[in-house]
Amino acid sequence: MKIIVCIKQVPDTNEVRLNPETGVLIRDGVPSIINPDDLCGIEAALALKDKHGGHVSVVTMGPPQADVALREALAMGCDEAYLVSDRVFGGADTWATSQTLAGAVKTIGFDLIITGRQAIDGDTAQVGPQIAEHLGIPQVTYAEEVNQDADGKALIVRRQYEDRYQMIKIKFPCLVTALSSLNEPRYMSVPGIVSAYDEKEVKILKYDDIKHFVKEKDIGLKGSPTKVKKSFTKTAKALGTLHEVPEDEAVEIIINKLKEQFFL
């Protein structure tokens, strides 16, 4: 089975700061990591490979600096790594990104694609599902358990909802988006890191390499229908009133406050 995991390199922080002037993400001084949900995607792929055999490729679209994220994935045990990187991909929104990645995974070939649910910098949760749509393959999002079916032709996925879950059988080829509750990602290993740098290579995919599967009008800034009007960091409002009272009194205070403000 050929598994491809799509990952994203993100700033290591939950509190992304924006430059108030330009509205652009401040990346200086913030170390980069593999997006946490994507790490679970890698683990899920490696666990499937450990159990049933197969081949795991990892793919990311990004600048040359994203190389280190791919090396980390190789050091965890992935077999191959692809960096989808070209100036013409720059300025892509989720739509253009998913078009590009769909072209890349089609070029590489796959039975199963795993992505993280969403990235901690953008929080859109759009790229995974969009890749499946572009490829015309079935998808299951919010996977919290992934097992291969006994006949080897499908996956059994437990899909999380807020108040329940669904067990879904999905035939290959397909796409699954991983939740961080799916598993505990393994560490890299020392020999894994040595091999990631000394033996394995990160293959670069430029637009020319994937052009059979994605149109030029669908990539980069011009392929991005999203127009950002304004980005800003929320400023703190005035401090609320603190009441240190027992629970039942607190309920009363809240109810009265809500009534006062016409919410009730």
Partner 1 sequence: MDFALSKKHILLQELYKKFAAKEVEPIAAEVDETEEFPVETAKKLAKYGMLGIPFSREHGGSGADNLAYAMCVEELSKVCATTGVVVSAHTSLCAAPINENGTPAQKEKYLKKLASGEWIGAFGLTEPGAGTDAAMQQTTAVLDGDNYILNGTKIFITNAGAAHVYIIIAMTDKSKGTRGCSAFIVEKDMPGFSIGKKEKKMGIRGSSTCELIMENCIVPKENLIGKEGQGFKIAMKTLDGGRIGIAAQALGIAQGAIDITVGYVKERKQFGKRISQFQNTQFELADMQTKVDAARLLVYRAAYHKDKGDNYSTHAAMAKLFASEISSDITRRCLQLHGGYGYTREYAIERFMRDAKITEIYEGTSEVQKMVVAASMGVK
Residue 194 binds to partner 1 (criterion: CB under 8 A):
yes
Residue 190 binds to partner 1 (criterion: CB under 8 A):
yes
Binding residue (CB under 8 A) for partner 1 from 149, 171, 197, 243: 197
Residue 188 binds to partner 1 (criterion: CB under 8 A):
yes
DSSP letter, residue 236: P
Minimum CB distance to partner 1 smaller for 187 or for 263: 187
Residue 58 binds to partner 1 (criterion: CB under 8 A):
no
Phi, psi of 42 (to 5 degrees): -65, -45
Minimum CB distance to partner 1 smaller for 34 or for 105: 34
d(CA 60, CA 77): 16
Q: Are strands 80-84 and 55-61 parallel, antiparallel or unpaired?
A: parallel
Residue 32 binds to partner 1 (criterion: CB under 8 A):
no
CB of 67 to partner 1, least distance (A): 8
Residue 116 binds to partner 1 (criterion: CB under 8 A):
no
Binding part of the chain for partner 1, among 22-30, 89-97, 193-201, 213-221 by CB under 8 A, reads 193-201
Find the binding residues for partner 1 in span 70-89 (CB under 8 A). Answer: 71-72, 75
Minimum CB distance to partner 1 smaller for 68 or for 168: 68
What residues contact 69, with CB distance under 8 A and at least 6 apart? 7, 8, 9, 32, 33, 34, 60, 62
CB of 147 to partner 1, least distance (A): 24
Q: How big is the CA angle at 12 (ends 7 and 15), to the nearest 5 degrees?
A: 115
Binding part of the chain for partner 1, among 67-75, 98-106, 136-144, 221-229 by CB under 8 A, reads 67-75
30 token code pair: 């913030």
Contact by Cβ (8 Å): 96, 219? yes
Minimum CB distance to partner 1 smaller for 71 or for 159: 71
Alpha-helical runs (H) found in 144-261: 190-198, 207-210, 247-260
Find the binding residues for partner 1 in span 84-113 (CB under 8 A). Answer: none
Q: Which of 80, 83, 155, 74 is nearest to 112 (CA)?
A: 155
Residue 43 binds to partner 1 (criterion: CB under 8 A):
no
Residue 65 binds to partner 1 (criterion: CB under 8 A):
no
First CA to last CA distance, the chain: 57
Binding residue (CB under 8 A) for partner 1 from 161, 187, 232, 262: 187
Binding part of the chain for partner 1, among 5-13, 68-76, 79-87, 236-244 by CB under 8 A, reads 68-76
| Per-residue CA distances from 44 to 89, 119, 144, 171, 183 (Å) | 28, 17, 10, 17, 7
E strand intervals along 85-230: 112-116, 139-148, 154-160, 165-171, 174-178, 202-205
Residue 196 binds to partner 1 (criterion: CB under 8 A):
yes
The amino acid that residue 129 corresponds to is P
Residue 193 binds to partner 1 (criterion: CB under 8 A):
yes
Q: Could you list the residues that contact partner 1 (CB under 8 A)?
A: 68, 71-72, 75, 187-198
